[in-house]
Amino acid sequence: MMLTLLLLVRCASADWAVVTGASSGIGEQLALQAAQRGYDVVLHGRRRRALHRLKKAIEAQTGRSTKMVVEDLSLPRGARRLHEACKGLDVRLLFVNAGVARVQPFIGDDAVDKMLALNVRASTDLCRRFGRDMAEAGGGRVVLTSSLVGVPAHGCAGAAAYAASKAYLRSFGNALHDELKSQKVSVTTVLPGAVDTAFARAADMERSLVFSVPGGRALGVVSAPDAVARAAHRAAARKRREIVPGLANKAYALCAEACPNILGRVVAKATFAPAPRGLAPRSSAAFIAAPARSTAPRRPPSRSVPGRAVGYGLLGVVGGLSVANALQDGSKPPLATAPPYASKADFYAAWRASIAPEASTLPGSVWDGELLFLGALAPAGSIVTHRLFPVKGAERKWLGKRFDQRGDVGTNRFRRSDDDEALGRDFSWSISTSRRDGEEALVLNYAAAPTPDRLFGTVLRMRDELRELEPGVLLGIGSMAATGGMRNGAPFILRRRSGGDDASSEDAVEADEDVLVDDAAD
């Protein structure tokens, strides 16, 4: 009886964590791991659909409560309205993570004021408001997301204002750590390096050398967002002043403190300037590319052996630290919200946590498909999809789907040759109730097509149900009523190739300047 009473009291007075910029990347992982550690979570961002997807994932997989706040913190009243939305919650953990990068010449950047409003003013205001609440409540933890570009004292050419804003957060966080220590409020500053997130893609950093170096991810030069989030949570729990995730990044930070002018120039070119042609990614999705072989005649070796030896020595030290970084920290993976999936159960969990796409984004779109080889029936699913499903005249390879520009119909794409494709196996589509969990999904009904296929439509009654994992990515379950329906479905992924209106499912749902949206609005 006493144990039950204690549990009820604990649930009634649960500690809350507030995570700004939780729509994707590091912020998403900070929120997921905060829920894993027993916190209820306030999810802040500007993209309501992304936050809603994260909210469902947290509640389904951890059982923790969540609250959504859609707000633009770069607005003058943004931080105040986020703080007001948290009134009545016992906030004991604050992640000031929202930020934006402007990578272009300073004198030609007309949006630098908005960046500084978010990175500097809003971060400072949030620390003041929530820090005061924590001090009055008897303690708490604040975590600021800065960056390694803010370490060199001479700044970072090519991103002068952005690097200065991150240097401010580092200086501010370190001073605040000492100032609030006596009031039992710890302040930790996180200094991540290159991180594989949508933030880097939005800032056009993927073309840079640091993202293109062969083996960059495996060696820790490019960090995964879940690894950075784990390091931030550990540092906050230990009340650390400052943390640099990854041994390679630690080595850089030490060198940058010793010779800031040189390292500042190096990191500016490696992070913000395009990589050499041989190392540049071939597409926006490629991070690692093999260096091109030069056909020019070799030059005789340089006689400046000491200088070259020093360079190779430093490269060897950084390489050794990078290898050690790749071998350390084999802790448990994050919650299954993004591919690749280790099992069919992981895929279904991510599918349930996703939401139906906006119908207006589908007409005219073309999607590349990938059949996932998961589950005991994966071989049978592969045979059906790639051998039996393709139309006559096509190679035995399913490529994806195409939605017609007009109406609610679509078709499947199959490979005909290396540069040609065949279309067939039509379907009708609608946003309707899923037969798997009773919630909304994009349903492709082959039996209801204008000209249904005799085998897959009329006889087998084929049906696909899809949900949006993130803008441009759909998780699908293909099934046939004659073979067990949705309980015996084959998992696949669709990635938008072209067409359609993708804006309405992403940034077009930003909060209005005078509207605060929480979980009740969804």
- Active site residues per annotation: 162
Crossing angle (nearest 10°) for helices 48-62 and 344-353: 130
Q: Which two tokens stand for residue 326?
A: 């790749």
Which residues does 372 contact at the CB level (< 8 Å), separation at least 6?
Answer: 341, 347, 378, 490, 491, 492, 493
Q: What are the two backbone dihedrals, phi and then psi, of residue 66, each rounded to the nearest 5 degrees? A: -135, 160
Sign of CA dihedral 438, 444, 446, 449: positive
How many C-beta atoms lie closer than 10 Å to residue 392's C-beta? 7
Name which of 119, 194, 188, 114 is nearest 149 in CA terms: 194
In the numeric block, the tokens 């953990």 are attached to 93
- How far apart are the C-alpha atoms of 223 and 234, rounded to whole Å? 16
- In the chain, the amino acid numbered 366 is V
Which residues does 233 contact at the CB level (< 8 Å), separation at least 6?
Answer: 30, 33, 34, 37
Which residues does 272 contact at the CB level (< 8 Å), separation at least 6?
Answer: 103, 156, 158, 159, 205, 208
In the numeric block, the tokens 């707000």 are attached to 71
- For residues 159 and 268, is the Cβ–Cβ distance under 8 A? yes
> How is residue 519 annotated by DSSP?
G
First to last CA, the chain: 37
- For residues 353 and 346, is the Cβ–Cβ distance under 8 A? no
Name which of 344, 324, 331 is nearest 246 in CA terms: 324
Which residues does 514 contact at the CB level (< 8 Å), separation at least 6?
Answer: none
- For residues 349 and 60, is the Cβ–Cβ distance under 8 A? yes
How many C-beta atoms lie closer than 10 Å to residue 437's C-beta? 14
Q: What are the two backbone dihedrals, phi and then psi, of residue 247, each rounded to the nearest 5 degrees? A: -65, -40
Name which of 302, 218, 318, 326 is nearest 263 in CA terms: 318
Name which of 145, 172, 131 is nearest 22 in CA terms: 145
- How far apart are the C-alpha atoms of 114 and 100, rounded to whole Å? 9
Q: Is 28 helix (H, G, I), strand (E, B) or coil?
A: helix
- In the chain, the amino acid numbered 188 is T
